[in-house]
Chains A and B, each alone.
Chain A
């Protein structure tokens, strides 16, 4: 084997694995149980699970129809719309947070109207966390579902039409079940991204324990005051990541 390739490969692997190993080595295993039971840890964990689940639900409600429109209909400017959908993928999350603040903030274009019409204010609330996470995570879902829809044979939908099914029935009873694995994978990916969201959340929703302080924010804050707590929180997030990887192993890890 040519060492010019093997050496960088081994270094690359070490670079990816060593930090995680370090996390495991430095973890306060003896006090882990009591650490995990601390109220602020539990609170951050609960808030993270709730907001990322709600964000995923929001992404499903809006993203699946968006993916369907992109995959199944032809309209001028579809390429542009797809490009716009993927912008949050490459945009630094903190920029997303700033943009959300400018639009939905108290003096933002939409935010001002929401405040005066409904008395609703989104920034620095739990709902704001959900919005920030959904903003960053939705492209993962849309792209995954659109790919699944493109891979699904549209002739099944034609067969359903000849059996008397309306467009909505076809979508509900044929299209959705056939792309269900793609939707599930997209939702898991979306949820994982929402769980790890930091930049947009802290910018748009701030860092209030119990209300907007999710796990990643808690890790960052704990690093300054209580490094051991940061390690414990990180371990929890690492565990969640490994579980997700295991759940999706058939889709990504196995090579064709």
Chain B
């Protein structure tokens, strides 16, 4: 059942957000995109902190786009949580129910119940500055959920945490989101957070949706350079005829064999690990093989990532041993060979 049905249009001087957005009950949708793509603008528009210039927002069929923030059934977890510094954790969480007219005692009881649920039952009286980053994040989550919103908005909920806490809070957050009956919109620029927490990704670039789908699907079949970089794939556009794909390289066409047989405009994606490098021209089919020049050499986990220029700019992952064996250095000329079985084509 669709909870959120929105089309957000917000105009700025040199920026225009034009984003259709839906979310079903219990669904977690991640808005993923580079800085300045309009993710936070979209979130602020949904929360009522920024007026819409066009479009609509409907929650359970009810238009809320013209309502002020305080009258929308929407809960927000802000990037740096924005816990009221002068109120205890308990009073922070009780703030929402109090504003809804719940009597003080009942509001405190509800707040205490929620803090118990997020594992902070022993920190009710603490002021925000006495809480750790992870604890503050959980108070913010409890504060947003205690009012029983139909839409939950999370703005980079894990960005302010250190790596270790992040892991722990991410799995806790995943648990709480699973128990939330309404729709959730999560804004992040971290692909890992998006992959782990979301049921569906909406990739936003320059105010527009450029790709949408389940995380695994987006990770396998990127449709823009930004997404390809996020998921660590090389991405090209070309024309397919059967298993053969012709890419328009800088120095004339380059032909590939792909796993899939297709016709017409396609994307071709392959992982850097699917590229093998040779000092001399290898034998075999001339397909999936081109001459390249080494531009960059960087450590990437336990592999070495080699940036190649040539007819197809590409990234290749090789072992440190291979770098030594091949005598690779910036400026080296090499042959790049791609494994056909690891090259995927899909309709553009």
Contact = CB atoms under 8 A, between A and B. Distances in A.
Asked if chains A and B come from one complex, the reply is: yes
Interface of A: 153, 155-156, 158-166, 169, 173-174, 177-178, 180
Contacts of A173: 95
Contacts of B75: 162-163
A156 B96 contact: no
Contacts of B278: none
Nearest to A162: B76
Main secondary structure of the interface of A (DSSP, over half): helix
B66 to A, nearest CB: 15
A173 B87 CA distance: 9
B99 to A, nearest CB: 4
A169 B99 CA distance: 8
A169 B100 CA distance: 11
B74 interface: yes
A173 B84 CA distance: 10
Contact of A161 (B48, B85, B86, B143): B48
Nearest to A170: B70
A160 B48 contact: no
A164 B82 contact: no
A36 B280 CA distance: 105
A220 B39 CA distance: 67
A177 B128 CA distance: 15
Contact of A163 (B68, B85, B86, B99): B99
Contacts of A164: 70-71, 96, 99-100, 147
Contacts of B99: 160, 163-166, 169
A162 B74 contact: yes
B95 A165 contact: yes
Contacts of A161: 48-49, 68-70
Nearest to B153: A162
B48 A163 contact: no
9 contacts: A155-B78, A158-B49, A158-B69, A159-B84, A161-B68, A162-B48, A162-B76, A164-B71, A164-B147
Contact of A160 (B74, B95, B147): B95
Contact of B147 (A163, A169, A174, A177): A163
